């Protein structure tokens, strides 16, 4: 494994950045302290900084030589509304907020690369460092694209990287085409008529209606879509009622749908609407379904091959899976790939053996209150960003269509 020596020597500094970020998590579009920290760090490296895109987004621009080529490197920024169970010293200082997906590590890896690139300037062209907010909301990258990030900071291609627990340590995985699912977050509000729980005939029960809807929605997956079309529908929220002897007036449900094909997502959302409205009508209630959709993350084949060749040059061919099984998680990086060609990849983080004393009793998996980013992959992630940028700007590994 060929970690850049200067990056390896800066391991403690990069780790300190990561652990400060882990201790100070902020939710989507609330990353004011995080963006201040990123901007201050970039400026200390002598990097041109721009702020305000996507509300709390940060963009750093590095130029060297006279080359006309350009590349975008993207990290997400936000945390999750999770109560951290870990008790080690860099645990979250905020109740109910936690970096449970590794965005703290993603920021630190890109900052580690930025530090090296700014000091060396051994490239010819422009590197745009993108720190994107609100990935967990699925809308931060979309906001940056809609506000003109690639018009203000033109790039020939854009790349993303995500740590992945459970994948062997210090390995990479990617694939051409769809690598992450299209998604539809949904909310269902069911309104009935409140009543005394001992006199249910005087009301119209939204809880009973909601329970029937939850069960019926699963029938879409087993009976409406083609069996060969990959899809998952998960109801993850059911809120209603405040007293044990009161049938509430309304309840709310929430959850997510994930598919690899947009047509499958269209079908599922259409069937959801029919089921929700008709079951509510049968129970003499009213129901409203609200859906927020995000596209699938689709890698450009040539750019995927390019990224894979860079990875192989660092860790060896045997540690790069170029046919990674598509993952049902979603990524708002998809919006950037709709605007510019590029590739999204995963960096293996191992199985949690790295966690220090004081970690929670749960598994080291993303979106889990016992998760912690593996600092052992910081140097590899930073090295990948550096080599990817330098290789792109130099024309190394690039095919005729790039």
Which domains, and CATH codes, for the chain?
A: 5-180+296-394 (3.40.630.10), 182-294 (3.30.70.360)
CA terminus-to-terminus distance, the chain: 27
pLDDT for 397 equals 67
Q: How confident is the model at residue 353 (pLDDT cuts 50, 70, 90)?
A: confident
The neighbouring-strand residues paired with 196 are: 246
317 burial type by CB count under 10 A (0-12 exposed, 13-18 middle, 19+ buried):
exposed
Q: Where would I find the H helices in 24-102? A: 32-44
Give buried/exposed letters for 245-278 (b at 16+ CB in 10 A, else e).
eebbbbbbbbbbbbbbbeebbebbbebbbebbee
Closest CA to 145 of 132, 127, 156, 157: 132
pTM of the model: 0.93
d(CA 237, CA 187) in angstroms, rounded, equals 9
Find the length of the chain: 402
Token duo for residue 176? 């051409």
Q: Where would I find the H helices in 121-177? A: 140-146, 149-152
Give the relative orientation of helices 11-23 and 103-120 as an angle to the nearest 10 degrees. 140
Give every CB contact of residue 69 below 8 A, 6+ residues apart in sequence.
124, 125, 126, 156, 392, 393, 395
pLDDT for 396 equals 76
Q: Tens digit of pLDDT for each residue in 228-285?
A: 999 999 999 999 999 999 999 999 999 999 999 999 999 999 999 999 999 999 999 9
Q: Tens digit of pLDDT for each residue in 318-339?
A: 999 999 999 999 999 999 999 9
């Amino acid at each position: 494994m060929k970690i850049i020596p200067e990056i390896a020597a800066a391991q403690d500094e990069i780790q300190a950045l990561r652990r400060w970020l882990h201790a100070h998590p902020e939710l989507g579009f609330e990353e004011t302290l995080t963006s201040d920290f990123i901007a201050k760090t970039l400026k200390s490296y002598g990097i041109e900084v721009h702020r305000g895109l996507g509300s709390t987004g940060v963009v750093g621009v590095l130029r060297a030589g006279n080359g006309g080529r350009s590349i975008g490197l993207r990290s997400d920024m936000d945390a999750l509304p999770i109560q951290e169970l870990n008790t080690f010293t860099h645990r979250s200082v905020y109740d109910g907020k936690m970096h449970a997906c590794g965005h703290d590590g993603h920021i630190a890896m890109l900052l580690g690369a930025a530090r090296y690139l700014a000091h060396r300037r051994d490239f010819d062209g422009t590197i745009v460092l993108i720190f994107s907010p609100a990935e967990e909301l699925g809308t931060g990258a979309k906001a940056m694209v809609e506000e003109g990030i690639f018009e203000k900071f033109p790039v020939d291609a854009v790349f993303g990287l995500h740590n992945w627990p459970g994948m062997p340590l210090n390995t990479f995985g990617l694939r051409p085409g769809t690598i992450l699912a299209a998604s539809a977050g949904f909310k269902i509000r069911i309104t009935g008529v409140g009543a005394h729980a001992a006199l249910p005939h005087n009301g119209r029960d939204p809880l009973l209606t909601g329970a029937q809807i939850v069960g019926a929605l699963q029938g879409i997956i087993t009976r409406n879509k083609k069996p060969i079309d990959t899809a998952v529908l998960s109801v993850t929220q059911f809120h209603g009622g405040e007293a044990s002897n009161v049938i509430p007036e309304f309840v709310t449900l929430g959850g997510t749908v994930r598919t690899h094909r947009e047509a499958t997502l269209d079908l599922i959302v259409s069937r959801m609407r029919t089921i929700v409205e008709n079951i509510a009508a049968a129970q003499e209630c009213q129901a409203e379904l609200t859906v927020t959709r995000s596209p699938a993350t689709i890698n450009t084949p040539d750019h995927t091959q390019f990224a894979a060749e860079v990875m192989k040059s660092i860790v060896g061919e045997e540690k790069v899976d170029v046919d990674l099984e598509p993952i049902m998680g979603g990524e708002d990086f998809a919006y950037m790939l709709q605007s510019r060609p590029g590739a999204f990849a995963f960096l293996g983080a191992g199985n949690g053996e790295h966690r220090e004393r004081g970690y929670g009793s749960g598994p080291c998996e993303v979106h889990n209150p016992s998760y912690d980013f593996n600092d052992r992959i910081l140097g590899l992630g930073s090295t990948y960003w550096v080599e990817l940028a330098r290789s792109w700007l130099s024309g190394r590994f690039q095919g005729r269509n790039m």
